[in-house]
Amino acid sequence: MTNNYDVIIVGGGVVGTAVLMQLSRYNLKTLLIEKEDDVSCGASRANSGIVHAGYDCVPNTQKAYFNVLGNRMFADHCRELDVPYRNTGSLVVCDEDGLEGLQVLLEKGKANGVRCEIIGRDRILEIEPNIGDAIQYALYAPDAGIVSPYKLTIAQADYGVLNGGEIKASEKVVSISHEGGHYTVTTQKGVYTSAVLINSAGAGCMEIEKMLGENLRPISYRVGEYFVLDSTEGKQVSTVIFPLPTKAGKGILVAPTVDGNVIYGPTSTPVEKGDDVSVSQSGLDTIKAGVSKTYKVPAFRKVIRVYAGVRTEVGSDFVIEKSSINEGYIKLLGICSPGLTSAPAIAKHVCDMVLGFISATAKSELKSLPKHKKFTAMDKEELDQLIKEDPRWGRLICRCEKVSEAEIVNAIHSPFPATTVDAVKRRVRAGMGRCQGGFCAPRVIEILARELNIPITSVKKGGEGSEIAVEPIKSGIATGEEE
């Protein structure tokens, strides 16, 4: 059976879900197809979460335009989605020899319309007391900030679904044809048609291009590795600290997160494949050396996790354009940094492009996402009242992050539901604390099995073949068989 839509989006990252959210404001039938079992499983899961000010982008490029516009939209965008956002500002720091490089960044920033200035050590210490002893100058950009990239992506998906959009997860596109003004997209589970097709497939974007007979462009990948520090370190860092950037990237940063942790990273190492998220000892050593140059109190003994993400590059700029070969095909290629910051602006632009292909009216009413109630944000009186209404608020499942059973159940039954342990983790942070799920994971598995009405042995960590429980460890005792 073929399912018909006005628009199909391939790829459930921060840009793809932002487009879904924007299109859901119109009377359009829109589908997003994602090959993984959740949104935000690629680069959007594993980037720095920095809302860049825009001084680093080459003037008059797509990156510069959408970065600056997206930055201006970001606070309101997050407020609408009830996603935590902090306007921290950022510092690009250097020693005596780096002043000329800061001047270059300053001129870029001015050309892009970014508020920024070069400041000396006394002013730097007022903003960030733990700056490295060798640091003498910094480019200060007050409009930079931080956000959780996966929470933003998930909230955009929830908003899109709540307002009529659809998401098909765990469906990899295997073929696409374009005939009679319509696209036929075939996955391993279904066949879907649309008048407009949007390629937001991230690392897999050239696979979609190839299926449509487009002229392929060179594509490259860079892996970025990170350290995550315990939330006890959150009080040590108040802003985002960058070194002077190089051709490889923005360098090893030190930054707080909206959830109270601190991150060090990323590296920028070329890799052959877009799914290579392995962490190397050499990469971690590079981070250690880089952090020590800009930040005087690194706390590597407080590391609770390491991870990596892959940045996909298609040339030196974003590719946001209509196809010259296939009518109604929109390309979003190479949306690497500052893609997170640019996402709201890109989505608005793409929506306008879609409306150029299909005439559609804005919806007269839109549904708002409910406010995310958090155990940690409530006072005793409010929590006591909630527990009377729903005892699950009184059952603490994740002790490190103080996540209640009610929050986990709400995540499982959200507009775009969490169906795996990792999906729950991304939504409510159960398993993101000091023990990294050592205590709460079994409870989360039990709750998922109960709420989804599936066997415990069918609950996945996240991804194909990632089932955690194989069989009861005492299965043989009841029958008298040997274990």
Residues 193, 235 contacting (CB under 8 angstroms)? no
Question: How far from 269 is each of 248, 265, 273, 278, 285, CA to CA, in Å?
Answer: 8, 12, 12, 11, 13
Tokens of 133: 């002893």
> Does 52 qualify as catalytic in the annotation?
yes
Assign 3-class secondary structure to the chain: CEEECCEEEECCCHHHHHHHHHHCCECCCEEEECCCCCCCCCCCCCCCCEECCCCCCCCCCHHHHHHHHHHHHHHHHHHHHCCCEECCCEEEEECHHHHHHHHHHHHHHHHHCCCCEEEEHHHHHHHCCCECCCCCEEEEECCCEEECHHHHHHHHHHHHHHCCCEEECCCCEEEEEEECCEEEEEECCCEEEECEEEECCHHHHHHHHHHCCCCCCCCEEEEEEEEEECHHHHHHCCCEEEECCECCECCCEEEECCCCCEEEECCCEEECCCCCCCCCHHHHHHHHHHHHHHECCCCHHHEEEEEEEEEEECCCCCEEEECCCCCCEEEEECCCCCHHHHHHHHHHHHHHHHHHHCCCCECCCCCCCCCCCCHHHCCHHHHHHHHHHCHHHHCEEECCCCEEHHHHHHHHCCCCCCCCHHHHHHHHCCCCCCCCCCCCHHHHHHHHHHHHCCCHHHCECCCCCCECCCCCCCCCCCCCCCC
Residues 127, 238 contacting (CB under 8 angstroms)? yes
* Catalytic residue ranges: 52
